[in-house]
Amino acid sequence: MNNIKAMRFNLAGLALGISMVGFGGCQHAPVDSQNPETYAEKKLTPAPMVSAADEVTPTMVAVDEIKYQATEPGKMTREFKSNVRGLRGLRGLRGLRGTCQQVKDDFALRLLVPKYTGKTLDAQPTLYWWVSQSLSDADLTFILNKVPDADDFEFSDPVIEKTLNMSVAAGIQALPLSQVQSDFRLEKGVEYQWNLLITCDPDSPSLDIKATGTIMRVAPTAQLSAAIEENTEEERLAFLYAQHGIWYNALDTLSAKIQNAQNQQSRKARADLLEQVGLPEVAANDKRQLEL
């Protein structure tokens, strides 16, 4: 299903973890994003644990109406620290370097994730993110951690930590996990946190531009499996995934349809899906495309 044209990533190791410290003058809450649909060419991919069996029974909706139904929300896991108004006045700061020298004061980086942990059926899902402006020869660090148990206080060493070098146009980007680390597979029932960040000053982690979300791989319920067998149309599958709370598969199915066929119904459904999880600025891109 991960048939999106992938980004080219020149992967290089990156040693340090990232700081969760607040960014002065920035908003951490889900103030979200926008812009044209573009996929980078390949240069090279803590809420309570909820099992698939615990999913809520979905309410069936019309084919032209998509509805994302998450399970018990628990603790919000999405965080953005990427409206870089705080960089205003720091352009001449010694140490402010690399990709941060390109970004504008209204720059935003978003992960296309729900507010609470999203689910996937895939061991190597395609992850999606959005950037408000084009970047050239940019270095973004991808970090994947296992979310610690409730009685733990710290993350262990990252499962994956790599620098992705890319040039991208403004808009939605696809990040196949298989192209970040080909031999890695998500474990079922394990919650992971994934992060993208741009380092502005290696000696000042608080200046990092960062976005965070979580993901959990689950097995399909018997109800979802039966529904998939009865509905072989790819577009209908996205609606089923959303109804059963399988966020990443729903988003990937719609995005693949848009990329391959510029399908307007899928674009509308994706815009609706993004708005339902509090990403109206990203959804605005699809809405603009529908008006063209």
Q: What is the pLDDT of residues 4-48, one digit of tens each?
A: 444 434 433 433 333 333 333 333 333 343 343 443 433 443 434
Q: Is the pLDDT of residue 138 over 60?
A: yes
Q: What is the pLDDT of residues 47-66, one digit of tens each?
A: 344 443 344 444 444 456 89
Which pTM value belongs to this model? Answer: 0.75
Least confident of 66-70, 104-108, 190-194, 242-246: 104-108
Cβ–Cβ < 8 Å for 142, 14 = no
Average pLDDT over residues 109-137: 95
Cβ–Cβ < 8 Å for 162, 13 = yes
Of the candidates 125, 238, 247, the one whose C-alpha atom is nearest the C-alpha of residue 177 is: 125
If one counts every other C-beta atom within 10 angstroms of the C-beta of residue 200, the result is: 24
Of the candidates 98, 10, 55, 76, the one whose C-alpha atom is nearest the C-alpha of residue 213 is: 76
Distance from C-alpha of 252 to C-alpha of 5, rounded to nearest angstrom: 12
Q: Is the pLDDT of residue 208 over 80?
A: yes
Reported in sequence order, the residue ranges of 147-266 that DSSP labels E, i.e. its strands, are: 160-168, 171-176, 191-198, 209-217
- What does DSSP assign to residue 157? S
Contacts of 262 by beta carbon, 8 Å cutoff, 6+ apart:
none
Structure-derived torsion over alpha carbons of residues 251, 254, 257, 258, reported in degrees to the nearest 10: -90
> So what's the pLDDT on residue 34?
38
Q: Is the pLDDT of residue 2 over 80?
A: no
Distance from C-alpha of 263 to C-alpha of 154, rounded to nearest angstrom: 44
Distance from C-alpha of 202 to C-alpha of 248, rounded to nearest angstrom: 32
Q: Is the pLDDT of residue 3 over 60?
A: no
Least confident of 68-72, 118-122, 272-276: 68-72
Average pLDDT over residues 138-155: 86
Which residue has tokens 């999880």? 277
